[in-house]
Amino acid sequence: MGYLTTHKITKLFRIRGGVHPDDCKTLSASQPIEDLPMPDLLHIPLQQHIGAAAKPAVKRGDRVLKGQLLANSQGMISAPVHAPTSGRIVGVGHYPAHHASGLSVHTITLQPDGKDEWVDLNPVADPFALEPAEIAARVAAAGIVGMGGATFPSAVKLNLRNRYALHTLVINGAECEPYLTCDDRLMREQAVETIDGIRIMAYALGVENIAIGIENNKPEAQAAMRAAAKDFPNIQVIGLPMRYPMGSEKHLVQTLTGLETPARGLTADIGIVVHNPATALAVHEALRAGKPLISRVVTVSGGAVSQPRNLRVLLGTKVQTLIDHCGGFREEPARLISGGPMMGNLLPDTRVPTVKGGNGVLALTAKEVSENQESPCIRCASCVQACPCGLLPLEMAANARAGNLDAVTKLGLLDCIACGSCSYVCPSHIPLVQYFNYAKGELANRQRAKHKQDETKRLIELRNARMEALARAKKEAMERRKREAAAKKAAAAKKAEGASA
> Would you list which residues are annotated within the binding site?
377, 380, 383, 387, 416, 419, 422, 426
The string of DSSP letters for 60-120 reads TT-EE-BT-EEEE--SSSB--EE-SSSEEEEEEEEEE-SSTT--EEEEEEEEE-S--PBPP
Angle at 402 between CA 400 and CA 407, to 5 degrees: 55
The type of residue at 279 is: T
Map residue 430 onto helix, strand or coil.
coil
Q: Is the peptide bond before 178 cis (omega within 30 degrees of 0)?
A: no
Residues making up the chain, counted from first to last:
501
| Beta-sheet pairing, 81-82 with 235-240 | unpaired
Distance, in Å, from the CA atom of 123 to the CA atom of 92, rounded to the nearest integer, reads 30
Angle at 492 between CA 487 and CA 495, to 5 degrees: 125
Enumerate the known binding-site residues for [4Fe-4S] cluster: 377, 380, 383, 387, 416, 419, 422, 426
Residues paired with 305 in a beta bridge: 329
Q: Is 1 exposed, middle or buried (0-12, 13-18, 19+ CB in 10 A)?
A: exposed
Q: Which of 274, 171, 257, 266 is nearest to 215 (CA)?
A: 171
